[in-house]
Structure 1
Amino acid sequence: MISQATHQNKTLNKGLLVALCMIGIMLSGCSEKEDATPTKETVKDPDIVEISNQLAKQVTLHTIGKIEMRDTMRLPGTIQVDEQRMARIGASVTGRVKDIEATLGQKVTNGQVLATLNSTELAQSQLVYIKAAQQIGLQTKAVERAKLLQEADVIGAAELQRREAELSAAQADLNAARDQLIVLGMSESAINKLSKSGQIHSYSNVVSRISGNVISRKVNLGQVVQPAEELFIIADLSHVWVVAEVPEQQIDLIQTGEEVLVEIPALHNKQFKAKLIYESDVVNPETRTVTVRCDIENADREIKPDMLVSMLIKSSPVPKLALPLQSVVRENDKTYVYVQLAPNKFRLREVELGQEYMGMVTITNGVSEGEVVVNDGAFHVNNERKIKELE
């Protein structure tokens, strides 16, 4: 019995050992199949690029921050004559033009004769002055005789006072006639000469009151002119005004005394530096603009009145986020920068740009203050990214 039981146990153990071997073989086969399955490779981000140490030597970095930026306003304007250096010349009497001595564009000096008039009005006023001067002589002698007669007790004091009053009235008439001649353009020396000679001179000169150029002439020979008429305009063009209109919403961005640039298209967009010397105190109700003005030196006379110009005015400084222009990469009508992730490792990121200012450009979206981007060498980093995409 014992040997039979022992034989059964050995048979059972042998069967169990075979089963365990089979299970082991099956597990081993499964393991081999699992090992034969290929592993999936990690997907690379095409916008991330790692550069070599050699390329890194050609790259400089820039930390994004804010700069004080001033917007530039471009205002249309015109060149105008400096009104403080301009004179509108007219006749001082009514008369007929006898001679014209100034031509359009001619340079004249202060006191130079521009035209000569023949005036009956001037002759009549001179005649009044001569008669008033004669009355002074007569009334003076009458007063002297009256004094002698009063001393001889021939006439009373009342008669002497009457004749003295007539002398005072004659003196007043003479003064009035003299003032009238001055109003009509006669000089003091000419009036004194008239007093001595008694000869009437009916010619009146139209003279320049400043030195400059004749920029307008509105008179011809034989023309009858009135004192209210403008015959010549004389202007000193060594300085001219630039006048522009600023929208009322932007008037707080400028101030008198600040420097501006004046660009003149007719002179191949040549720019001139100037300073704002005037800002109007009122708003034009029709255009809703405020007039501003600056002065430009024009020694060589290349700037002409009524030329069209652009006045470039910089606004007050405003802090704005910006980065260098060379940091920007342009592709497919979009703009990008390379933002540093780690040493020699960068990510291509799309950004939205604003205005350019002194080699910088403002950023409206895409990066934040404090981030580091590629400055010089962004082009090389971009090429490196494209090469690795093709590998």
Structure 2
Amino acid sequence: MKKVILFTLLALGVWPVFGQQESQKAETTAEIAVMAPPSLLQRLKIAPVASAEIGETLHLPGRVMLNEHRVARVGPSVSGRVTDVTAFVGQNVRQGQHLGTINSTELSIAQAAYLKAKTQMNLRRLAVDRARRLLEADVISRAELHERESELTEVEVELRASADQLAVMGMSEEAIRRLSSSGQIDSVIPVTATLSGTVIEREISIGQIAQPADDLFTVADLSEVWVVAEAPEQQAYLVETGGNAEVQIPALPGQKITGTVIYVADIVNPSTRTVTVRMEVKNPERKIKPEMLATMVIHRPRITSLNIPSKAVVRTGDRDYVFVQDSENQFILTPVSLGPDLGGLRRVIAGLTEGQRIVVDGAFHLNNERIRKELE
């Protein structure tokens, strides 16, 4: 009979709406009435929804990391063989300090090209001066003078390019001037610190061939470090850039460490469903070590809002519910929107009003009674 009715509806161009009716029925039954038997009613604790002052505090697990803005990875500016090493792990160095020495044939070739270009420039200048005198004596044409001046300009460009290449290879302006005045090639060039701090890594030994892509030393300024933590996506809204935070480090018990939140990620990590939070911490005594485990504690100002006990909440499916008292022994399972658990309380965002009486203890047993009746 059902097949005949369905065929008739399709023939008339009418589509059945059974699924829509079921959906509407599910929506209208979002609030479910539950009758509590006398034996259960005696076990329930009922209280009105009331406002209270509550402070929100986050405890986020994390670790100490280097401040990446205060880390320098030092390598050679030219390929060559290491002939000397003067810095070691744990040593404090200053910006510009000599860390090692490289002997480079590439540098020798570049210096030779520079000296050759300088010699050619001097010869072209002499040729231009001679051409000017000959032009005044009406021996050559002005076109020939222009040709000599063009040749001088080309050589000057080559000289400047050679000087720039030497600078890229790590030679200072003073060293280039010395080379220009003495004409003596020096293939040895130092590896110098680009940041004042502590050498925390060393990947160099005498005799090895070093390339510009190699990181021979890592220098870090440890007077300031980062603490990086992961905030659950539901609580990320509580963290604001520029806010103050505390750090608890198990390896440094009893020490009060504070800092400033400098970064809150704009995206959620899809693997962990967390948001990265970073804070900056002063470390003048170097007691805080990178890779130490830490807990970031963020305090939010205390606010007055509607709050209910966490025990009053029943989780069904992917939503939170509470039982609102409708009569002496009847309760309505009501969907609510709540904030995170904060010390046994949850802030009411939507779904309840002040003064409504709800089950604050025993909601679990009342929900079991509801499930039992539904199964019957």
Give the TM-score category using the shorter length. 0.5 to 0.7
Correspondence 1:126 to 2:78: no
What is the number of residues matched between the two proteins? Answer: 270
Aligned with 1:85 (options 47, 70, 82): 70
User: Aligned-pair distance for 1:362?
Assistant: 5.7
Local SS of the residue matching 1:170 = helix
Counterpart of 2:235 in 1: which secondary structure?
helix
Higher-Rg structure is 1
User: For 2:206, which of 221, 235, 260 is the aligned residue?
Assistant: 221
2:239–2:264 contact (8 Å) kept in structure 1 = no
Alignment partners' CA distance in 2, 1:67 and 1:103: 59
Note closer, same or farther for the CA distance 1:316–1:284 as it changes in structure 2 (3 Å cut).
farther
Q: Distance in 1 between matches of 2:121 and 2:342?
A: 83
Equivalent runs, 1:307-322 vs 2, <5 Å: 307-315=292-300, 317-318=302-303, 319=305
CA contact 1:320–1:362 (8 Å) conserved in 2: no
Does residue 1:277 correspond to 2:266, yes or no?
no
| Correspondence 1:237 to 2:231 | no
Alpha-carbon distance between aligned partners in 2 of 1:80 and 1:363, rounded to the nearest angstrom: 33
Aligned partner letter, 1:258:
G
CA distance in 2, matches of 1:216, 1:82: 15
Q: What does residue 99 of structure 1 align with?
A: 84
Q: Counterpart in 2 of 1:344?
A: none
After superposition, the Cα gap between the structure-2 partners of 1:306 and 1:277, relative to the gap in structure 1 and judged at 3 Å, is same
How many Å apart are 1:315 and its aligned residue? 4.4
Asked if 1:70 corresponds to 2:44, the answer is no
Distance 2:234 2:346 in 1: 25
2:259 & 2:139 partners in 1: Cα distance?
82
On the 8 A contact 1:254/1:316 being kept in 2, the answer is no
Amino acid at match of 2:250: P
Deviation per residue, 1:27-53 (Å, 9 max, x gap): xxxxxxxxxxxxxxxxxxxxxxxxxxx
Selected match of 1:187 from 149, 164, 172: 172
Matched-pair contact (CA < 8 Å) for 2:57–2:342: no
Query: 1-side partners of 2:83 and 2:99: how far apart?
Result: 11
1:146 Cα deviation from its structure 2 partner: 0.9
Deviates more, 1:118-127 or 1:270-279: 270-279
Amino acid at match of 1:87: A
With normalisation by structure 2, the TM-score equals 0.67
In the alignment, the residues of structure 1 paired with residue 57 and residue 218 of structure 2 have an alpha-carbon distance, to the nearest angstrom, of: 36
2:252 matched to 1:267?
A: yes
1:148 equivalent in alignment to 2:153: no
1:293 aligned partner:
278
Question: What letter corresponds to residue 204 of structure 2 in structure 1?
Answer: V
Per-residue CA distance 1:158-208 (angstroms, 9 max, x = gap): 111111100000000000000000000000010001000000000111101
The alpha carbon displacement at 1:320 in A equals 5.9
1:154/1:356 CA distance change after superposition, 3 Å: closer
**Structure 1 unmatched runs, 5+:** 1-63, 324-353, 370-391
- Measure the CA separation in 2 of the matches of 1:275 and 1:97: 43
**Equivalent position SS for 2:287:** coil
Q: Distance in 2 between matches of 1:236 and 1:211?
A: 7
Tell me the residue number matched to 2:158: 173
**AA matched with 2:223:** S
Superposed CA deviations along residues 221-264 of structure 1, whole A, max 9, x for unmatched, are: 11111111111111111110001111222111221122221111
CA contact (8 A) 1:114 1:208 kept: yes
Is the 8 Å Cα contact of residues 254 and 314 (structure 1) preserved in structure 2?
no
**Is this contact kept in 2: 1:67–1:322, CA < 8 A?**
no
1:212 aligns with 2:197: yes
Q: Provide the identity percentage.
A: 47
| Structure 2 residue 126 is matched with structure 1 residue 137 | no
After superposing the two structures, state which structure 1 stretch, 208-217 or 276-285, moved more. Answer: 276-285
SS of aligned partner of 1:246? strand
The one-letter amino acid paired with 1:169 is E
Give the unaligned 5+ runs of structure 2.
1-48, 310-339, 348-353, 356-376
Give the Å deviation of 1:67.
Answer: 3.7
**Superposition deviation, residue 65 in structure 1:** 7.5
Letter in 2 for 1:78: R
Distance 2:226 2:277 in 1: 10
Structure 1 residue 278, shift from structure 2 partner: 1.2
Partner of 2:351: none
| 2:242 pairs with 1:257 | yes
Which amino acid counterpart does residue 259 of structure 1 have in structure 2?
A: N
Q: What secondary structure is seen at the aligned counterpart in 2 of 1:142?
A: helix
Check the 8 A contact 1:264/1:271 in 2, yes or no. no
